[in-house]
Structure 1
Amino acid sequence: MDVSGNSTADENTKLPAVVKAAARQLLVGLGAAGLSLDAVARDGGLAVAEVAAVFPQRDDLLTALVIDAYNGSGAAMEQADQAAVAAGASAGVRLLAVTRALRQWSFDNPAEFTLIYGSPVPGYHAPQETVPPASRTPVVLAGIVRSALEAGELTPPRRAVPGPPLLLPEAVQLFGGVPEAPFSDIIERGIVLWSNLIGLLVFQVFSRTHDSVRDESAFFDYAIAVAAESIGLEVPSGRP
């Protein structure tokens, strides 16, 4: 270390990333339930005190990993959407692009996907700070649906949600307000689309469709197109 202390400062700056990298390796082998500060220190070649200095409790480390996973998956979708918009793509093409991007991220990062979309970690309750990163996925989807609505690319539904709205105010705010009829239930339909997307990824990442589907990539596109029909959006067929 030089007299200015720069070496120590650099090490302290890098330490959180080193700890999280070791924790991600443990996620692959043990899952989130097997994560502990002791295990991370052992596998990362660190002292437990070093790990505890940046993440005092296991839940602090889990929260950091959850936030990183949501941010990573959300960024993949945002980048795909930006590229599609720049290419002048329709809303249907944009939807296919962002869902494919999320699928690729999920297969590239199965442990992180499992952390945020798999079974809940026993004893862990995600704090409020995970909400903004988690919102990046529905925000991308909502933006595409809103654009399709404004561009007249949606076909009116044959059936509306009966009774009063089924939404929390936060969902309405995220979308930018409730549209007028015949699209007054488009937010509910968008949440169905989002749910279908995550469920489909769970099936594919956890190999629930490998013994019944010949081409899982093509099936994914087909399933997204079918799900998009529920909001009146046409998704192109084929794999460009």
Structure 2
Amino acid sequence: MTPEVAVTTEAPDPPDNVGLRARNRAAIEARLREVGRQHLAEHGAAALSLRAVARDMNIAPSALYRYVANRDDLLTVLIVDAYDDLADAIESAVARHQTARTRFVAFSIALRDWALRNRSEYALVYGSPVPGYRAPAEQTNPAGERPLMALASIVADLDSVPVIRGTRSPVQTSAANALHALLDDPAVPAMADPVVVARVITVWNLLIGAISSELFEQLGPVTDNPAAVFAGVADLCAALIFG
């Protein structure tokens, strides 16, 4: 007869221990994001340091590596958080309005308001690239597409987009066709008019350009009422979409 072999297994952790570990991990991750954002605001993305973040969290750098592998990993976390926070703010603002035009106005105001409240995060996602950092598309793209898709959804709900003089020229058609990679994106509504898609991209660039110009003072002291200047840009953008 084959002798019986005693099999020993480690007893699973009690549910209380599992829950405690999960809560502790969540608390440390939340603190990591908080301190990471503080360092981003104080020192900029290029100077972000895991060792400095760990010091301000009062933990050893080696302990921090259980949560992020390196500085780039932390930057990725902060980028995804920034995109998601912006998209949440936009979606919340847009949801309170009914017509496409008022939803667009709410979208524009929410975009600028978020940028003013989160200058360092805005600079991280819409400013100059961080030297030596390459964003992992599979992690950042889903969150990064949300703000732009919020704008696209406003236009997609329209029964038709008015033809505006100059927007159907051969140059505009060629520019629209050059966006083939975007048109192939599953997130873009099927059979979307390439010229309309190009117009949405133009509106997005105008809004981001106006906000960047204001936040980074690219035009110098040209106005004491930047909100009115931005409202004018947003109004022009609405004319491109709604006529």
Is contact 1:166-1:188 (8 Å) kept?
no
Match of residue 116 from structure 1: 125
Matched residue type, 2:64 = V
Match of residue 162 from structure 1: 173
TM-score normalised by length of structure 1: 0.85
Match of residue 238 from structure 1: none
**CA distance, structure 2, for counterparts of residue 213 and residue 102 of structure 1:** 20
**CA distance, structure 2, for counterparts of residue 3 and residue 191 of structure 1:** 50
- Greater shift after overlay, 67-76 or 199-208? 199-208
**CA distance, structure 1, for counterparts of residue 224 and residue 25 of structure 2:** 49
Match of residue 105 from structure 1: 114
Larger-gyration structure (1/2): 2
Matched, 1:78 2:53: no
Is contact 1:210-1:216 (8 Å) kept?
no
Matched, 1:212 2:219: no
Structure 1 segment 1-240 matched on structure 2, within 5 A: 4-5=16-17, 7-84=20-97, 88=98, 90-128=99-137, 129-148=139-158, 150=159, 152=160, 154-159=161-166, 160=168, 161-163=172-174, 165-173=177-185, 174-179=187-192, 184-209=194-219, 211-231=221-241, 233-234=242-243
Query: What 5-or-longer segments of structure 1 have no aligned partner?
Result: 235-240
Matched residue type, 1:125 = R
Q: Aligned with 2:177: secondary structure?
A: coil
How large is the RMSD of aligned CA atoms in angstroms?
2.1
**How many aligned positions are there?**
222
- Residue 74 of structure 1 and its aligned partner are, at CA, apart by 0.8
Is contact 1:209-1:216 (8 Å) kept?
no
Query: What 5-or-longer segments of structure 2 have no aligned partner?
Result: 1-13
- Residue 9 of structure 1 and its aligned partner are, at CA, apart by 4.0
Match of residue 237 from structure 1: none
Identity level (%): 32
Q: Which runs of 4+ in 1 moved over 2 A?
A: 2-10, 168-175, 177-180, 207-210, 227-231
1:97-120 Cα shifts (integer Å, max 9, x gaps): 011111111111111111101111
